[in-house]
Every structure is written in C-alpha cells, then in structure tokens.
Structure 1
Amino acid sequence: MRHARRSEGRTARTYVVCAGSRVVGYYALASGVILRDAATARLQRNAPDPIPIMLLGRLAVDRDWLGRGIARGMLKDALLRTLAASEIAGIAALVTHALSDEARRFYEHHGFAPSPLHPRTLMVTMREALTATL
C-alpha cells in the first residue's frame, strides 16, 4: 500500500483493488509525452513531436493473489480510463515501462509494442486499445 500511496499526487491518480480491507493490486495513471523517435511506427504516423500519452505506472498485484486475473482486469480498467480521457484530451497512446522481462511479456500479450529505442518501454495506440486482447 505504501507504493500505491507514493504514486498518488497532483500528477498521478492511483487505482486500488481490495479484497475486504486488504489491498491486492494497484496501478497509477499520469499524463505525459513521448518523443516521436521513441514511439512505435504506428504511433509516429501523423503525430506531433512530442506525442501526448497516458503513462501507466507500477501496475502491481500482491504475490498471494497472482494468477487470478487481477493484473488483466486492472490493465483493462486502465485502457478504458485512457480511452475515455483520450476523447477529451487528445491522448494518442497508453505507455508503460516494464520492470522485468515477465512484465514485458504480459504487456506484449495484451497488444503493447516495444519502443524502437527502449525495449522495456511499451505502448498501445488508442486505436489498438479498442481491440486489445483483454
């Protein structure tokens, strides 16, 4: 929970999944930008420099609750919130920084593509998010 609280502030919003009074997962969303050179080819197409994005930060699940679909559900929630925000704020993609190869594979499985400059920076355009495998 302390990591979830640390993510909250003026520049980010944290979303928490609880089982009773126990926090079993959380993630944070913040607005930001990515330079065109660091974006996937699909995201670069007809985009300004820098490109407005939503940043998905620190999606995490309690070890005792792994394998129950919580991460998938939180990712779906993050995508839906980002899609809604993109309709009023011009957000082009949801971007995240995978901390491990396992996390990278999770995001790639759900339609995220790696940055050409930073393989653990992954992104999905808003158009791609509409058809993400969730």
Structure 2
Amino acid sequence: MLNQALDSGDSLPTPVAARAGESSRSATRTYGVCASGRSVVGYYAVAAGVVTVAGAPGQIRRNMPDPIPVAVLARLAVDRSWQGRGLGRALVRDAARRVATAAETIGIRGIVVHAISEEVREYYLSLGFDASRHEPMTLMVTLQGVLAALRSRSPG
C-alpha cells in the first residue's frame, strides 16, 4: 500500500505516500516503483541544488560558474526484499534521464548525493560518482558520466 513504510534497511523509514506528498508541496519530486498492485518497492526524490567550485571534483567544476547548478538525488530507497535485483540502479538511471531532460532546458552540470553510510557511499562510487574534495560523504557525477556508467553495467 502507498501508506506503508518502505523497509530499505536504512535509518530513515518513512511512509512513501507521506514523503511523496511532502515533496509535491516542496522543492523535491518523488518517483516510485510499484510491484504486485500497489506495494511500493522503491523510490527516489530529486531536487535542484548548487555546489561550490571549491568542493566539486574536477569533472564537475571544469569551466563552470560558482556555484555550479546540479540536481540533488535527495533520497533513494529500495525495499529489502527487492535489493540486489538492480532496482536501485534502474531508479538512478531513471533519475539521470529525467535530469538530462531538464538539462536540455536549464543548466544542470550533474547529480549530487549525500551518502548516509559508507555502504551507500561505495554504492554510488560503483555508479561512477566521485567524492567531494571537502565532504567525502557527498558524491557527484556529471550527467554524461552517470549515463555512461549505467550503460556500461548490467541492465536494470
């Protein structure tokens, strides 16, 4: 059900419907995946943001203004029962495609995430993200970089 708390194993369980409702009234947008009817098995939220040139990895900061316009992958969660099946990668791919579409109209250099654990940090590193020069739990990737990394790995 949409009001269920998605059990992703992290420390931030929140009913998906509540998070989606909050995001529709704020500066983020939430997208989800349902299986077997209305059970939400994964979702992500995106928002607009900026990063400073000083904190950005080389690929992001090259020839960019300060601050650099980015999209923030504000939340990514996959239910424990669906983890290890490529759903997280598929959700990141969907987010990257949506951000790439937005970037055709407005300036967006890349995607930023704030990892909540070392395991999550390693996951994003495996998708081609680079750690911030000043904040190791903040990771960034150019749009071209994440789309290329997702294409080069096993599908969805």
TM class by smaller structure: over 0.9
Structure 2 unaligned blocks of 5 or more: 1-15, 152-156
Whole-Å separation in 2 of the counterparts to 1:104 and 1:44 = 21
Which deviates more, 64-73 or 6-15? Answer: 6-15
Residue correspondences, number = 134
SS of the equivalent of 2:150 reads coil
1:59 to 73, 76, 83: 76
Deviations 1:12-62 (A, max 9, x none): 100011111111111001011111111111111110000000000110011
4+ residue runs over 3 A deviation: 2-8
SS of the equivalent of 1:89 reads coil
Partner residue of 1:121? Answer: 138
Instruction: Please state how far the C-alpha of 1:4 moved relative to its aligned partner.
Output: 4.2
Partner residue of 1:18? Answer: 34
Whole-Å separation in 2 of the counterparts to 1:5 and 1:67 = 28
Is residue 111–residue 142 contact of structure 2 (8 Å, CA) maintained in 1? yes
SS of the equivalent of 1:132 reads helix
SS of the equivalent of 2:34 reads strand
Instruction: Please state how far the C-alpha of 1:133 moved relative to its aligned partner.
Output: 3.0
SS of the equivalent of 1:33 reads strand
Please tell me whether Structure 1 or Structure 2 has the larger radius of gyration of its CA atoms.
Answer: 2
Structure 1 unaligned blocks of 5 or more: none
Whole-Å separation in 2 of the counterparts to 1:104 and 1:48 = 26
Whole-Å separation in 2 of the counterparts to 1:36 and 1:83 = 21
1:83 equivalent to 2:112? Answer no
2:87 to 70, 74, 82: 70
Partner residue of 2:57? Answer: 40
Instruction: Please state how far the C-alpha of 1:9 moved relative to its aligned partner.
Output: 2.6
Whole-Å separation in 1 of the counterparts to 2:19 and 2:64 = 33
SS of the equivalent of 1:46 reads coil
